[in-house]
């Protein structure tokens, strides 16, 4: 199973477990109100609520999690935020109407109930107005879908950190920063025009997002034709994730090379730099909040990325980054020695990193 599929399966199972718990609580609360049978009603309500939750989570969050990387998911992502949200409310609202309005869970439970009084109580519950139950379910699921949509706009980790106030007060931490630049985008833009270069860069960034997620990276920002990706040292150390992430992005673009050639007459080529060090991380802004990083690490990483052209190398990694990684994990490195970077007085020890896999094997992967 591919890393992206494994990640989505784990996320789905977590959402399913949460949904089952919430459904069981609501179902049990409803069943406990049965006249003359509060305890059996609560027990059956837990089962009925869990059944409803399983069906709704499977339909709604299964679509949210597993459809997003497909062509249909990509088409939905191109719609305006409100249009996508309205479409999902319509589709998901219909599912809620069928499941909750149709009392799917209670009807399934009723098929196995032999006690006449309890069966009568369940039938009375099924016949009661469903509007309150549907409104409650729609509100909960609508809120969850809205949070998922916002997370895709600002980044899941950024949203989590802002909501939890993780960086409300700034603090110092050690981080990796990977700058990935699309080489030759300026002359390409002059040749194909601004609309086409926008689609070109958008497609590159979209294809890069899956490998970034697979390697637990966090997209800090898109700057022109460059992606800035970051990890804390603890997050990035296992499996040399920042290095593996770059080559996974390159592999994804290699597989899409025929599409780029047909659509734009060229294929994307990358330059990248990886550096690590101490930064101050915190929230800034007023009406728009953002998490930013202050420190020399960002500037140095940018200078290293510029040095890829001066040194004729595709991917440069500083000694500071390498010594913080767990191991090389099959990546070949060439010691380039201390290098003077533009705007820096002290030289920086650099290494050129290459994948040990042949290029043809990367394209076939």
One DSSP character per residue, 212-272 reads HHHTT-EEEEEETTEEEEEEEHHHHTGGGHHHHHHHHHHHHHHHTHHHHHHHHSS--EEEE
Q: In this model, does residue 359 exceed pLDDT 50?
A: no
pLDDT at 307: 94
pLDDT at 96: 86
224 within 8 A of 181, measured Cβ to Cβ:
no
pLDDT at 2: 62
In this structure, of 128-142, 312-326, 339-353, the range with the lowest mean pLDDT score is 128-142
Compute the average pLDDT of residues 117-134.
79
Query: Could you tell me what percent of the chain has a pLDDT over 90?
Result: 38
Residues 6+ apart with CB under 8 A from 132: none
Residues 6+ apart with CB under 8 A from 72: none
Write out the H or E segment, with its range, that includes residue 139.
helix 131-154
CA gap 227, 221 in Å, rounded: 6
Q: What is the pTM of this model?
A: 0.73
Q: Tell me, which fold does domain 161-364 have in CATH?
A: Alpha-Beta Plaits (3.30.70)
Q: In this model, does residue 154 exceed pLDDT 70?
A: no
Compute the average pLDDT of residues 268-277.
95
Residue 235 in tokens: 């997050």
pLDDT confidence band for 363 (50 / 70 / 90) = very low
Domain ranges within the chain, ordered by starting residue: 3-154, 161-364
Average pLDDT of the chain is: 85
More confident residue, 167 or 204: 204
CA gap 365, 172 in Å, rounded: 39
Please choose, from the candidates 227, 224, 225, 215, the residue with its C-alpha nearest in 3D space to the C-alpha of residue 178: 227
CA gap 73, 6 in Å, rounded: 18
Residues 6+ apart with CB under 8 A from 82: none
pLDDT confidence band for 260 (50 / 70 / 90) = very high
Q: In this model, does residue 164 exceed pLDDT 70?
A: yes
Q: Which residues pair with 355 in a beta bridge?
A: 331
Q: In this model, does residue 308 exceed pLDDT 70?
A: yes
Q: In this model, does residue 153 exceed pLDDT 70?
A: no
pLDDT confidence band for 365 (50 / 70 / 90) = very low
Please choose, from the candidates 210, 188, 329, the residue with its C-alpha nearest in 3D space to the C-alpha of residue 266: 188
161 within 8 A of 131, measured Cβ to Cβ:
no
More confident residue, 284 or 341: 341
More confident residue, 26 or 72: 26
The sign one gets for the Cα dihedral 308, 310, 312, 317 is: negative
339 within 8 A of 311, measured Cβ to Cβ:
yes
More confident residue, 86 or 197: 197
More confident residue, 327 or 109: 109
Beta-strand relationship, 171-183 and 315-318: unpaired
151 within 8 A of 163, measured Cβ to Cβ:
no
């Amino acid at each position: 199973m591919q890393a992206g599929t494994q990640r989505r399966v784990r996320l789905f199972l977590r959402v399913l477990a949460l949904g089952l718990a919430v459904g069981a609580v609501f179902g049990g609360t409803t069943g406990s109100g049965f006249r003359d049978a509060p305890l059996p009603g609560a027990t059956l309500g837990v089962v009925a609520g869990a059944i409803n939750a399983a069906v709704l989570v499977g339909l709604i969050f299964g679509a949210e999690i597993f459809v997003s990387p497909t062509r249909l998911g990509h088409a939905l992502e191109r719609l305006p935020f409100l249009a996508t949200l309205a479409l999902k409310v319509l589709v998901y609202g219909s599912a809620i109407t069928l499941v909750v309005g149709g009392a799917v869970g209670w009807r399934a439970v009723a098929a196995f109930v032999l006690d006449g009084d309890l069966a009568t109580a369940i039938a009375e519950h099924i016949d009661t107005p469903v509007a309150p139950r549907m409104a409650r379910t729609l509100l909960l699921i609508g809120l969850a879908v809205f949070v998922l949509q916002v997370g895709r706009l600002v980044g899941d980790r950024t949203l989590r950190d802002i909501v939890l106030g993780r960086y409300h007060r700034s603090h110092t931490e050690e981080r990796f920063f990977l700058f990935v630049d699309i080489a030759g985008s300026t002359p390409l833009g002059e040749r194909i025009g601004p609309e086409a270069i926008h689609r070109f860069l958008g497609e590159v960034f979209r294809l890069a997002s899956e490998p970034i997620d697979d390697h637990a990276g966090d997209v800090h920002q898109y700057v022109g034709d460059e992606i800035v990706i970051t990890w804390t040292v603890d997050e990035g150390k296992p499996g040399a994730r920042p290095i593996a992430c770059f080559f996974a992005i390159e592999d994804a673009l290699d597989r899409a090379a025929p599409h780029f050639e047909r659509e734009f007459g060229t294929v994307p080529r990358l330059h990248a730099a990886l550096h690590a060090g101490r930064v101050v991380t915190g929230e800034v802004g007023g009406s728009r909040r953002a998490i930013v990083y202050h420190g020399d690490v960002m500037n140095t990483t940018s200078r290293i990325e510029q040095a890829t052209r001066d040194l004729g190398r595709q991917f440069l990694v500083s000694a500071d980054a390498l010594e913080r990684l767990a191991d090389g994990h099959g990546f070949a490195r060439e010691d380039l020695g201390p290098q003077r970077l533009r705007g820096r007085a002290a030289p920086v020890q650099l290494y050129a990193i290459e994948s040990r896999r042949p290029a043809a094997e990367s394209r076939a992967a």
